[in-house]
Each structure stands twice: as structure tokens, then as C-alpha cells.
Amino acid sequence: MVRFEEKLKNLQSDAVWQEYCGFLDLEIDEYMQIQNRLMIEQISLWSKSELGRQMLDGKQPKTIEEFREQMPLTTYGDYADILLMKQDDMLPDKPVIWIQTTWEGGKNPIKVAPFSKSMLETYKTNMVACMVLATSPEKGVFNLKTGDTFLYGLAPLPYATGLVPLLLNEEIGIEFLPPVKEAVKMSFSERNKKGFKMGLEKGINYFFGLGSVIYFVSLSLSSIGNSGKSKKSGDENAGGLFKYSPSMLFRIAQAKYNCKKENRELKPKDLFKLKGLMVVGTDNECYKNDLEDLWGIRPMEMFAGTEPGCIGTETWARDGLYFFPDACFYEFIPDDEMNKSLEDPGYQPKTYLMNEVIPNEKYELVVSVFKGGAFVRYRVGDVYRCVGLESNTENTKIPRFKYVDRIPTMIDIAGFTRISETCIRDVVDISGLKILDWFAIKEYNKQNRPLLHMYVEMKPESLVSSAITKDILREHLSVYFKYVDNDYKDLQRILGMDPLEITILKCGTFEEYKRQKGKPIKTFNPSSYDVMEILEIQKQDYEVSRRWHF
Amino acid sequence: MTGHFIAVPVAALFCYIFLMIAFMAAKKTKLINSFLLVLVALILWAGGSFCMRALLMPSIKFWYDISLLGLTLLPVTLANFFAEFVGSKERLLKKIWFILFVVINIINIATGALLAHPVLVHIGTDEKFVYYPTWSVVLLFVYFAVIFSHVLYVLIKNSENNELVRKQFTPIIIGIIILFIGHLFVMLSIFQGFPTDILSGVINALCIIYAMYKKRLFKLTLLVSRGICYFITIGLTILIFSNAIPGMERFIASSFSDFSNHRVLLIAVLFTIAILLLYHVIKKFIDTVFIKDEIVRAENLKKFSSSVAKSLRIDEILEELVNVIQYTIGVKRVYVCVLDNTTEEYKIAYSTSPLDQMTLNIKKDSPIVRLLSEQGECLLMKDFRRTMAYKSMWEEEKKQLIELDIECFAPLRDEDELIGIILLTSKEKNNSYTYDDVGFLGSMDTIGSIAVKNSKLYEKAYLEARTDELTGLLNRKYFYESLQEEYEKHNNQSLALIILNIDDFKLFNQLYGNKEGDIVLMKIAQIIKSTVGDNGHVARYSGKEFAIILPLYDILSAMSIAENIRKQISNINKKTKDYALKALTVSGGICAIPHSASTLRQLVDNADMAVYHAKRRGKNLILAYSVEKKDLEHEINGIEEKKKADIYAEYASAIYALTAAIDAKDHYTFNHSKRVAYYATRLAYAYGMDEDFVRIIKEAALLHDIGKIGVPEHILNKAGKLSEEEYEKIKDHVENSIGIIRHLPSLDYVIPAVIGHHERYDGNGYPRRIAGEDIPISARMLCIADAFDAITTQRAYKQPSTALEALEILEVNAGRQFDPVLVPIFVHLVNNGLINIDEETIKMYE
């Protein structure tokens, strides 16, 4: 196969664009043709595999309609026995690599997903398309070159993001700062420091990662840049300066001069002219404006996951994601159907296809991974909102989506950790705190940062026997969150954020709520209206049940 | 004539005009048009210069102004050309350059302020044009410099990020640099008098042509025609002779003084000969360099066209197609896929070598098919890979194409339908596909697709001539042909023949009608066809006989196939839901070469003989022919007789039991059935039916109202008019009868008669509302007999009518309720006393 780099040299740029980003020009019927044809291929591959045979239990669907009728929706638990054992021979296609991630609330700490050779090929092509689009100011125009530099802010293999440098380097000579081989051996902060230092010498063209991580790293860069001020006469600083090329020194000087003139802190945009800034994960909306301010260009959001691979990207308009037609077969569960099925696990929710979505509706995404993927009709656990079926600004005729959040049974903080109801219950149990009742909800603070807000009601008898303040509870629970959930620990270690917020409710509030409403408040992610109501109820005078005193 | 270097502007002018004519013939695009404008500027420039140097009328100044007009127009047209070349939409600057050009020329023509026309000076015998430039000439250079900087800026900007564009621009930029250098050199004393500027103009034009050719904007061969040959010949001849005539005159005068009076004639002859020679040399040169391939292609195409016109065999056409493509394009392998309508796939029907892998199937919904149908032209694999459509290719399909090393697809279309796909692998020496190849494949599409379509139609007709219309199997004629073919092909190896004969098929047809019979024939054909598959040939040997040719089969394996088929056939009618049809069986005979026959004649005869034996052994049996069979004939006869006797014994007891049952319930019906049996059998005899049929109709008549057992007595014997509900109950007796009889498999053959005896000839009867000949003949007979008896006997609700009245009613209703053919026969029988209606006769008959 011809590498992307060769194509850049030998093809007209519009031909390159057409090859990688041409899917944006598809009519919805053409889009569905690709979807349907690849799905038929996948059904035949998957049904023949041992995994498929076991899950289909004797049924032999031939068409997409039959398949959707006969095969129920799946979650990771349905595959766990086979995938966790890495039983290659039971899969539709031989995996080249197994990608790993945390399995929150699962029966195993991690979950793994196989990637076949052709899946990786698609991943690669679509990744290049994202890179092309990230540098693109308008349709058909892009600025991706051999030798561009890429600040490495990603988790290494076996995490999905670890594939990015490997795949990109198969297509185009991009220099990662620091080089991948060194980066994987470094700690997160070492890697960032080294990356920026190299960036100061060579310039930085791309930055890609979780929105929250990029934001944190960008702030730390500002502090590195500004630290020069405080160490005015430091030898180290002076020695450091000699490492930079004169042009870089000029840039630093110019940047500092500009900042001084505008009386503001140094920002990465003063030092680097990024070609592309790409973000993945949840809560990117919270960081996009700040990132734009820091880097001078608006981040482009894309969607990649451990199970589905790289499946969607925004374009130059930064106005919603488009799904790649050749990565997965997409089905969408409407919001109310999703809620019904979350309440009643036995319920099979209806799904709709890409040509059946309705603007402004929220949908849970269901994917069947093409090209010999293991997952079919798989509930990824993400909710999207369809923002339009066509776009005049982008001149597209396929639906585009905005990422909303994880499904309501999961609280995802900044793309870093996924907290389930079971997880909180475990934390409450092992913490030994005298918590009578609680509910938890994902909220955003004034700075628009995500947080996990727990509303707790203490057992009345504990009030006289132990010290219970908001801070103590917060500290206490945090420790146990870190104990139960490794990612939570990283959240604090890497991003320095503690997303836990506690509100102590008056004794008897939960019971009073139940009395007034006729049912208890939902423990996990209740609606904001319910929260407002319980806070109102708390203000009322009511008898506290005395049963705890006996 | 002035100066020695006049040849340079002449050559340049000649070159430009040549290009102009050539490009006029090319397909017009905006870019080609803009290049033509460049040529206009160059022609004005070089032409003006030539005319000036030739001191032509009206004046030096006039030609100088023309020349300068061309020269100043050149950068404007070049800027325009480059803007088109890179697809720039910039309009404003182009306008400004044009206005500048107009202004400069007006000023200079009027005043000569920028650069006045040169002056002719005589230095000794030499004549020279001397320019007197002033400082203002700098303005001209500034004008050039500004426009060229703009051009360079456009070029650099557009090639910045793209190496490919940069490569395309390189010759153009070199051309411009040469143009500039040419103009600088003209100022240097060392080149004084030599028009380096004009020479550089020629080189520049050639550079542009090269760039355009590289960008595949035109086909070189398109530019070269016979007209061009004439033009070059004339130009060159004039050029040579205009210089050589004085010398020749001198030479003739000095060396051949005798001919000096005829020197004009001599020169004219030489001139003519030279033209002829030159023309041929140039034509030869152009043919070799430019058109040779074209001619070869055209010849191949012609050859292909005429050879496919002679054939209607698809194999031959495809072979010819593959060969001509492989030979002409120089491709390693060629495959032709043709649409198979049954599987909806394009399958390889022919390839360059019989050793080629032939496993490729392209599905009808493949993006290749869609693109080829939509675009109607060749699709190169490298382009296909870059389309969005390629994304919907299956991995398996991609792998197959890679394995076969496919680099190009060409369509074979019949109007909008894609009837075939030509797949081409990489070319010899791994050359890439050219425009000419693509064009050639386009012509192949036109000729090839017609040929393929015709041959497919022919093959279809051919196939239709070979097949039996009803069953789709081979017909008898082609059965013998195929048998002969296989016999010759598998000489000295085994060849088995099975003949299957449907048991009692005539009876079946009589019972259920021919329509039902045809359906059964189709079902049986389908069973045989799917069981035999590709292992042999199946033919409809005669009306109710099928023959199966099984090459390389021995008797044992043929027996197992035949048994398999026999079992499937005996199951055909077991699943019918509404009413049971008579069970179908087949008897079969097997013979095989060399085991029990040595010639085809023997093979067929012996298989027939085996069928005969199977029939006599009691049917529903497969027998292999063996010589001992003849000795067993006697034994078989014995078995047959015994079997027949057994069967009738069984019938008799069942019928007796049932009639006794009805007698107990309703004595009228018991007697009625007996009378109907008498009338119906008389009618059947009179109609010419055989013993078997008569026996069936008698039994059917005895049982035809057996279902009345299930009808309440008060309804059966009701004196008044029946209510709607009661009538429905009565109607049910037909279904009830079937319900009872179906449990007696040995009596199932009476069902058609029983179920149909209340059907009307006009289709308004019950229960199936069938009409005319679709009602089994036995049922039609039963219907007449039944009605006749009902009319002539006394019931609770009516008095009996006379036989005469009854016959009248039958005649009136012939063609409506009754079979119009059978009624006259029945009437005749009664009128002539062949049917008696008195009880005594009927009893006797019993």
C-alpha cells in the first residue's frame, strides 16, 4: 500500500483530501450503502466464528434485518469469558493486538479488545483523516507535512491511544516529542517536561489527548514558561537558554515581551503555532474555550474508544462529529428507550440507523465493529445528540452529532475515570462512615469543571459519637475512592484535581422525600429537578423518624 | 533578404504556426484556449520580426510594432495561461495586465517613447538593425518583470505544499527563465544580430507543451495528422529551395550549360521530386514516432471486430477479446467476468491461460460494478482505491484482487446494463496504464459488449432449443447428443444411465387433470436436478420418463442416486394440506457401460428393459439391468398377479365397511350411491375408459356421499327449504367424505372424483370452484350420474321426475353444471336403453 507520505508527494492535494475526507461528501444513501455492505460482510464473518456461533445460539441470520431481530444488544459482560482469555481462534479474524482499558463495575479490573489487521488499517486511514481535518481551515485545504512534530500526551500501549503513534508512523514520518520509545519509559510529568523542552527547539505542530489532560499540561507549560521570571539569576536557566536555537530564543523573548505588554501570563500560543489540536474523551466541552484561549486554535474533537476504534471526527467547522462509514455499523437507541432498558435490563430497546436519526434527539450509541471485530450490537455506553442531518457551512449531507456524556449509570469525570453506582456503594461500605442514605450526581462547578457530587444523610446516632463535617467526609471518602478506583487516583495524581463534592442533608430528608413523592430518590444520577426538590424538602419542618434510637 | 539569421524567426514562426494548427485540432478546454492565445502572441512577435527583417511592405515600423505587440502580449497571455494551469480564480490582476498592455502599445506605436523601431544600417555589405534604446526601455523591462513575478508567485504558491505540482511546473519555470535569458542576451554584443530572444521564445513554447503533455491535457497523437505532414513538407521545401535556388541556378549554369535554357523546368522537376521524397520521409517519421501504436491498435481492433462478427459462441468471442487485449496493451493476464443471472454475480468466464485461478466472483452489489456502470469507462485500481466506494469493499474481495494482481477494470456494457467486466493485471515490465490503453479498452467495450450480448442471446436460444420447456431439463434430442458426447469423452470409463418412469401417470392426469400433472412433472424434475447437480445430465426422455446420464458412475453409485430420488418423489404428495393427492411413485431402470452394456444403443435399451421389469415387479422400484433379469420374468409375473389380488381384497373390505356404515345411518344414500355407481361406470365404459378407471369410478361413486354420515338426519331428510346454515352443513359432506377416505391410503385414488363431484363445469360449484377440464374427468362423470339419480328419485322434499325430464335438465345445463361432451353420451346411453333406471337392472349390475 502507498503510504500517506508518498501520496502527499505524488498526488494533487484535492485527490488526497478526497481519499481521506471524501466521506464528508457522501449522500446519506451512499453512506448507508457502505454501512450495509460492510455489515453484511461482518455478519458473515462473525456468525461463522465460534464467538458468533455461541452468542447466536443456533440462529443463522443472513440479512441485516434478521441480524438485528435475532441478536440482542450486548455489553462487555457478554464477551468477557472469551475475550479475557484472549482466545484468538474463537474470533472472526485473527487479532494483531489486544487493547486494554479499565472495566468499571465489571467482574474483572480490566477489559480487553482485539484488533485485526484490517481493523487497524481502517483505524489508520481514519486517524490520518482526523489529522488532515485538524489542520484544515476550510474544505479541501490542509497542511500536513512529513517531519511535523507531535507532542506526546497520550497513554501508551496497551491503551488504545498507544496505537496512534504506531499507526501514524506507518503512514507519515511524524516526530513525536519525546520519541515514543523514550516516552513510554517516562512518568507523566517527565514526559511533558521533556516534550515541551523538545518542542521549544523544534516547534510543536500537533497536540492530541484527553481534553482535561491537554488543559492541565498546557497550564503546566505556562508555568514552565513563567518560571523563568522567578529564577532570574539561576545558572540552570541561563544554561538552558544556550540549548535553544537563536530563533527559538527570539521567539521566547518576543513571547515574553508580548505578554508583558498585554500584562498577562505566558500562554502556549505565544510560543507555538499549532497546526492541529485534537481532543478525545468526555467533558471536552468544559475545556474547549480555555484550550482555544491557550493555544490560539479551537480544539477538534474526535471519538475513539477501546472497543470501536477511531469512529468519528469533527471538521474545520468544529460543529459536531461525523461518524466514519467504514469503522462500525452504527445503531442509535433513543433516550427514552435507553432509560427504559437501564431500568429494566430485560427490555430490548429499539434501535435506529444512521438514516433514521432525528435532529436534537439524544441517542445511546450501539456499534458493530466491521472487518472481523469481536463486538456486535455493542452498547459503547456513550450518549450523543444528533445536531443536524445536513450542514450548509460544511456542505455535508450526513448526520452530525455532539458528544453528550456517558450513559446515566456511569459518571465519567474528565474522561479519566468512570464511576458506577456499585463503586460508590463499595466506597460507602468500606469507609465505615455512618452514612444512612446517599445519592450521587455528576455536576459542573462555576469554572465549568466536572465533579462528582454526593448528597449524604448521616445516621442520627452517629452525630453525637463522631466528627462529621463536610471536609472530613470528603477527605475520608476520597481516600476510599482512590483505594477502590485506580483511575480516580490518577485523576488526582496527574490532573491534580479532586472531583468529589459533599453535601450533608438533614436527617430524615430521604425518608421525607419518599413520603412526599411516594418513591425514594434515584441513588445514581437523579434528575436535577429531583435534586432541587429534595433540597427544598430539606428546608421544611418534619418529624425525624425515631426508629434509629431503639 | 537581410542578415544571416533570418532563419531563426522563420523557424520560430514556422514552429508556432505548426503548433497553432495542431492545437486547433485538439479538444478545446479553457487551458488549451489560453495556450492558443500564447501562440497568437508568439506568432505576432516572430512574424512581425520576420517581416521586418525581410523588409516587407509597408514599413519596418509597421512590422516592428506588430512584433512588439506580440512581445508585450506574451506576458499577459502567459499569466492567463498559468492562472488556468493552476486553476486560480484571480481576475483583477489579469485585467490590469491587459490594460497595461494596451496602454504601452498605444504609447509606443504613437511615440516610440519606450523603444523606437530599429534602423537599418549598412556596414559594408552587411545590413544590420540597430536599436537606439533610451532609459525608458527600462519601463518595458519593469512591465515584463512585474507580470512574470506575478506568474512566478502564483506558481510557487500553488506548488508550495505539493511536490507533484512542483514537478509539473518545473519545465514551465525553466521556459520562462530561458525566455528572460534570451532577451538579456539580445542586448549583449556577442550575440549582436542573432535573435536569441526569438529562439528563447521557441524553447519556452516547447517547455509549455511538455508541461501540458505531462499533465495529460492532450494526446500527442491527436495533434499529428496527414495535414500536418503536408504543412511541414511544404514549409521545409520552401525553406530549402528559397535558399538553394540561386545556388542551383549557378550550379546548372556552370556545370550543365546545355540545360541552362531549361533550368526553370529542371528546378521545378527537382522541386517536385524533393517534395515527394520529403513528404514520404516525414510521414514515415511521424508514423513511427507518433502514430505507429495507434495504427497497430486500430488494426487489432479491426481484426477483433471482424472475427467476433463471425462467431456467436461466447467462448470464442471471449477468447478473441482476451487475446486482442493482451496483445495490444501488453498486459500479463486478462480475465473476463460475465454476469450470471442466477447467482447475481460476475464470474470469470475466460482468462488468458487455462491455468489461471478462476475463483474470482464479483457480487452484483460490489462498488466496482456500480462505478463501472455509472462511469461507463475504465477504472484503474489505483484510482479505485482512493474512492469512497472502495471503503465498502469486503476484505476478502480486496484480497482476491490483490492476489490476482488486478490493476484495471473495463466495463462491457449493453446500454445501461453491465453485462461483463474485463479485469487486467499489471502490464509487462510493470509499465503503467496510459491514455491510449484506456481509450483502446473503451473501443473494446463498444465492440466487445455487442458481441458478448449477441452471443449470450444466441446461447440462450441455443439452450432453449436444447431444453424441455416445461421442466427446464434437456429434451430428448439433446439427451442423445449429450449421451454421445459423454460417451466419447469418457471412452473406456464407466457411464451410467438411469431412466425413471412415473407410475400410473396417465391415471394421475385423468384423476386430477393435466394441470396438476404438469405441476408434478416440474416437481419431479426439480428433485432430480437438485439431486444430480453437476454430476450428470438430466433429460425429459418422454412424457413421463426422465433420463439421467452419469459419467464415471458405476451401477452401485447410480443406484444410490436413483433410490434417493425415488424416495424423495414418493414423498411429494404427502404434504398436501387441503386434500390428499394420490401418492406418486416412480419405477427406474439402471444400466451402465461397460458393466452391462457396451454400446449406447445397448445402454438405452437395457435401461428401458430394467424399467419394464421394475414396473412388472409392482412399480415404485429401481432395478439395475442384468442379463439374468430375463429369466426372472416369469417370477415377476407371479408376484404382480399376487399383489393385484391382495390390493383388491383390501379395497373390497374397506368399501364394504364404509357402505355398511352409511346404510345404517341413511338408507337412501346407500341406495343412491349404488345407483350412481351404475350410471357412472356405464358412462365411463361408453367414454372408452379402461378397466382400471372404471373400477376407480365405481368405488368413488359408492363412497362419494360417505361424508353424509356427519350430517344430522333432520337436515338430510328435511321436507322444506334448507336454511343457509343447513345448506352449509350439507355442503360439508364433500370435505367429510375426503376426511374419511384419506385415512384409507389404499383408496386415496378415488379422492379426485369424490372431491370434484359437486364442482360445476362453469366454475360455480364447490368446494374448490374449479372449472372445465380442470375438474378431473372422473368427477365430471360422477357429477352427471349423481344429478341424474337425484332428479329421478323421490326425496322427502320432492317427487321423482321422469328420466326424460331428467335428461332434459341435463341437456339444458350442459356446459354450465355438466360437461358438455359427457352429457350427450349419457343421454344417448339412457335413450338407447344402455342405461336402465329400474331397480332390477341396477341390482343385477351389482
If one counts the domains in chain B, the total is: 5
- Select the residue of A9, A15, A30 nearest B386 (Cβ to Cβ): A15
Do B581 and B606 have their domain in common? yes
Number of H helices, E strands in chain B: 31, 13
Instruction: Examine the pLDDT at A512 and tell me if it is beyond 50.
Output: yes
B412-423 residues labelled b (16+ CB within 10 A) or e (exposed): bbeeeebbbbbb
Q: What is the extent of the structural domain holding A448?
A: 410-549
Asked if residue A190 belongs to a domain, the reply is no
CB contact under 8 A, B391 and A118: no
Instruction: Examine the pLDDT at B638 and tell me if it is beyond 70.
Output: no
Asked if residue A530 belongs to a domain, the reply is yes
CB contact under 8 A, B386 and A25: no
Cα distance from B350 to chain A (closest Cα, Å)? Answer: 27
Asked if residue B306 belongs to a domain, the reply is no
Of all residues in chain B, the one with the smallest CA distance to A34 is B392
Rg (CA), chain B: 49
> Per residue, what are the HEC states of B156-182?
HHHHCCCHHHHHHHHHHHHHHHHHHHH
Question: B365 contacts in A (CB within 8 Å)?
Answer: 37
- pLDDT computed for residue A439 by the predictor: 94
Do B582 and B713 have their domain in common? no
CB contact under 8 A, B388 and A372: no
Do B321 and B258 have their domain in common? no
CB contact under 8 A, B395 and A372: yes
Interface contact A41, partner B, CB < 8 A: yes
Question: How many beta carbons lie within 10 A of that of residue B559, not counting itself?
Answer: 19
- Note the pLDDT tens digit of each residue in A83-95: 999 988 999 999 9
CB contact under 8 A, B365 and A37: yes
Give the residues across from A330 on adjacent strands. Answer: A367
Say whether pTM exceeds 0.90: no
Closest CA to B589 of B571, B605, B600: B605
Instruction: Examine the pLDDT at A230 and tell me if it is beyond 50.
Output: no
Instruction: Examine the pLDDT at B109 and tell me if it is beyond 80.
Output: yes
Contact A316, A138 (CB under 8 A): yes
CB contact under 8 A, A41 and B395: yes
Q: What is the DSSP string of A273-313?
A: --SEEEEESS-HHHHHHHHHHHHSSPPEEEEEETTTEEEEE
- pLDDT computed for residue B226 by the predictor: 64
Distances (CA, A) of B381 to B50, B372, B386: 52, 12, 9
Instruction: Examine the pLDDT at A239 and tell me if it is beyond 50.
Output: no
**Domain end (from B465, B500, B517):** B465
A24 grid coordinates: 464528508
Instruction: Examine the pLDDT at B287 and tell me if it is beyond 80.
Output: no
Q: What is the CATH number of the domain that holds B144?
A: 1.20.1070.10
- Select the residue of B163, B392, B395 nearest A9 (Cβ to Cβ): B163
Q: What pLDDT band is residue A116 in, cutting at 50, 70 and 90?
A: very high
Question: How many beta carbons lie within 10 A of that of residue B476, not counting itself?
Answer: 14
> A376: which residues sit within 8 A by CB, 6+ positions away?
A42, A46, A52, A55, A67, A71, A74, A368, A369
Query: What number of CA atoms fall less than 13 Å from residue B515's CA on the CB side?
Result: 8
Instruction: Examine the pLDDT at B529 and tell me if it is beyond 50.
Output: yes
Q: What pLDDT band is residue A228 in, cutting at 50, 70 and 90?
A: very low
Closest CA to A130 of A384, A380, A318, A272: A318
CA A307 remoteness from chain centre:
12
Asked if residue B304 belongs to a domain, the reply is no
Contact B769, B691 (CB under 8 A): no
- Select the residue of A41, A143, A326 nearest B161 (Cβ to Cβ): A143
- Select the residue of A9, A15, A34 nearest B392 (Cβ to Cβ): A34
- Select the residue of A12, A30, A371 nearest B162 (Cβ to Cβ): A12
Instruction: Examine the pLDDT at B657 and tell me if it is beyond 90.
Output: no
Do B176 and B247 have their domain in common? no
Instruction: Examine the pLDDT at B844 and tell me if it is beyond 60.
Output: no
Do B193 and B248 have their domain in common? no
Closest CA to A537 of A523, A524, A521: A521
- pLDDT computed for residue B290 by the predictor: 62
CB contact under 8 A, B392 and A11: no
- Note the pLDDT tens digit of each residue in B470-479: 888 888 888 8
Residue B217 DSSP SS3: coil
Q: Which of A178-182, B88-92, B129-133, B625-629 has the weakest average pLDDT?
A: B625-629
Q: What is the DSSP string of B439-464?
A: HHHHHHHHHHHHHHHHHHHHHHHHHH
- Note the pLDDT tens digit of each residue in A523-550: 999 988 999 999 988 888 776 554 443 3
Asked if residue B248 belongs to a domain, the reply is yes
Q: Which of A543-547, B277-281, B478-482, B675-679 has the weakest average pLDDT?
A: A543-547
Asked if residue A296 belongs to a domain, the reply is no
CB contact under 8 A, A41 and B396: yes
Scanning the structure block, which residue is given the C-alpha cell 460543529? A319
Q: What pLDDT band is residue B35 in, cutting at 50, 70 and 90?
A: confident
Asked if residue A429 belongs to a domain, the reply is yes
CB contact under 8 A, B161 and A26: no
Distances (CA, A) of B5 to B42, B127, B174, B415: 18, 11, 25, 60
> B129: which residues sit within 8 A by CB, 6+ positions away?
B2, B3, B52, B53, B118, B119, B120, B121, B193
- pLDDT computed for residue B720 by the predictor: 75
Interface contact A118, partner B, CB < 8 A: yes
Interface contact A9, partner B, CB < 8 A: yes
Cα distance from A220 to chain B (closest Cα, Å)? Answer: 34
DSSP classification of residue B116: P
Of all residues in chain A, the one with the smallest CA distance to B363 is A37
Average pLDDT over residues B833-842: 72
Interface contact A372, partner B, CB < 8 A: yes
Q: What is the extent of the structural domain holding B208?
A: 7-218
Question: How many beta carbons lie within 10 A of that of residue B158, not counting itself?
Answer: 19
Interface contact A10, partner B, CB < 8 A: yes
Question: B161 contacts in A (CB within 8 Å)?
Answer: 13, 143, 145
- Select the residue of B164, B389, B394 nearest A11 (Cβ to Cβ): B164
Question: A132 contacts in B (CB within 8 Å)?
Answer: none
- Note the pLDDT tens digit of each residue in B452-486: 778 778 877 887 888 888 888 888 888 888 898 88
Question: A18 contacts in B (CB within 8 Å)?
Answer: 386-387
Question: How many beta carbons lie within 10 A of that of residue A168, not counting itself?
Answer: 21
Question: A30 contacts in B (CB within 8 Å)?
Answer: 388
Do B658 and B720 have their domain in common? yes
Question: B395 contacts in A (CB within 8 Å)?
Answer: 41, 118, 371-372
Beta pairing, strands A300-305 & A276-280: parallel
Instruction: Examine the pLDDT at B629 and tell me if it is beyond 60.
Output: no
Q: What is the CATH number of the domain that holds B823?
A: 1.10.3210.10
- pLDDT computed for residue A292 by the predictor: 93
Question: A369 contacts in B (CB within 8 Å)?
Answer: none
Do B424 and B511 have their domain in common? no
CA distance linking residue B624 with residue B249, whole number of Å: 107
Do B749 and B811 have their domain in common? yes
Asked if residue A511 belongs to a domain, the reply is yes
Asked if residue A441 belongs to a domain, the reply is yes
Do B274 and B346 have their domain in common? no
- Note the pLDDT tens digit of each residue in A329-362: 999 999 999 999 988 988 999 999 999 999 999 9
Instruction: Examine the pLDDT at B221 and tell me if it is beyond 60.
Output: no
CB-based burial label for A212 (10 Å; 0-12, 13-18, 19+)? buried
CB contact under 8 A, A26 and B396: no
CB contact under 8 A, B164 and A19: no
Asked if residue A457 belongs to a domain, the reply is yes
- pLDDT computed for residue A210 by the predictor: 85
CB contact under 8 A, B388 and A10: no
Q: What percent of chain B has pLDDT over 70?
A: 86
Question: A326 contacts in B (CB within 8 Å)?
Answer: 391-392
Of all residues in chain B, the one with the smallest CA distance to A11 is B164
Question: A145 contacts in B (CB within 8 Å)?
Answer: 161
**In the predicted model, what is the mean pLDDT of chain A?**
87
- pLDDT computed for residue B50 by the predictor: 79
Interface contact A325, partner B, CB < 8 A: yes
- Note the pLDDT tens digit of each residue in B196-218: 777 787 787 778 777 777 666 55
If one counts the domains in chain A, the total is: 1
Of all residues in chain A, the one with the smallest CA distance to B160 is A143
Average pLDDT over residues A298-311: 92
Cis peptide upstream of residue A345 (ω within 30 degrees of 0): no
Give the residues across from B593 on adjacent strands. Answer: B495
B686 grid coordinates: 361408453
Instruction: Examine the pLDDT at B628 and tell me if it is beyond 80.
Output: no
Q: What is the DSSP string of A331-382?
A: EEEEHHHHHHHHH-TT-----EEGGG--TT-EEEEEEEETTT-S-SSEEEEE
Average pLDDT over residues B316-333: 86
- Note the pLDDT tens digit of each residue in A408-429: 888 888 887 888 888 899 899 9
Do B613 and B657 have their domain in common? no
- pLDDT computed for residue B2 by the predictor: 41
CA distance linking residue B846 with residue B844, whole number of Å: 5
Of all residues in chain B, the one with the smallest CA distance to A17 is B386
> B1: which residues sit within 8 A by CB, 6+ positions away?
B54
Q: What pLDDT band is residue B703 in, cutting at 50, 70 and 90?
A: confident
Do B248 and B135 have their domain in common? no
> B600: which residues sit within 8 A by CB, 6+ positions away?
B483, B484, B487, B593
Residue from B395, B397, B401, B402 whose CB has the most chain A CBs within 10 Å, to mutate: B395
- Note the pLDDT tens digit of each residue in A465-489: 777 788 888 988 998 888 888 788 8
Beta pairing, strands B545-551 & B586-593: unpaired
Helices B292-309 + B314-325 axis angle, to 10? 170
Of all residues in chain A, the one with the smallest CA distance to B385 is A19
> A379: which residues sit within 8 A by CB, 6+ positions away?
A73, A74, A75, A333, A364, A365, A366, A407
Q: What pLDDT band is residue B233 in, cutting at 50, 70 and 90?
A: confident
Give the residues across from B347 on adjacent strands. Answer: B338, B361
Beta pairing, strands A352-353 & A328-334: antiparallel
Query: What number of CA atoms fall less than 13 Å from residue B61's CA on the CB side?
Result: 8
Residue B188 DSSP SS3: coil
Spell out the alpha helix ranges (H) of B490-554. 505-512, 514-532
Q: What is the CATH number of the domain that holds A463?
A: 3.30.300.30
Instruction: Examine the pLDDT at B488 and tell me if it is beyond 80.
Output: yes
- pLDDT computed for residue B468 by the predictor: 86
Taking CA B793 as the corner, what is the angle to CA B787 and CA B797, rounded to the nearest 5 degrees?
Answer: 95
CB contact under 8 A, A25 and B395: no
Do B408 and B514 have their domain in common? no
Question: B163 contacts in A (CB within 8 Å)?
Answer: 8-10
How many Cβ pairs within 8 Å bridge chains A and B? 52
Q: What is the CATH number of the domain that holds B586?
A: 3.30.70.270
**In the predicted model, what is the mean pLDDT of chain B?**
80
Query: What number of CA atoms fall less than 13 Å from residue B268's CA on the CB side?
Result: 4
Asked if residue A485 belongs to a domain, the reply is yes
**Domain end (from B465, B493, B516):** B465
Q: What pLDDT band is residue B6 in, cutting at 50, 70 and 90?
A: low
Closest CA to A329 of A87, A83, A55, A73: A73
Instruction: Examine the pLDDT at B7 and tell me if it is beyond 70.
Output: no
Interface contact A34, partner B, CB < 8 A: yes
Cα distance from A192 to chain B (closest Cα, Å)? Answer: 30
Chain B interface with A: residues with Cβ < 8 Å: 161-165, 365, 367, 385-389, 391-392, 394-396
> A257: which residues sit within 8 A by CB, 6+ positions away?
none
Interface contact A172, partner B, CB < 8 A: no
Q: Which of A236-240, A301-305, B67-71 has the weakest average pLDDT?
A: A236-240
Bigger pLDDT: B547 vs B449: B547
CA distance linking residue A304 with residue B601, whole number of Å: 75
CB contact under 8 A, A38 and B365: no
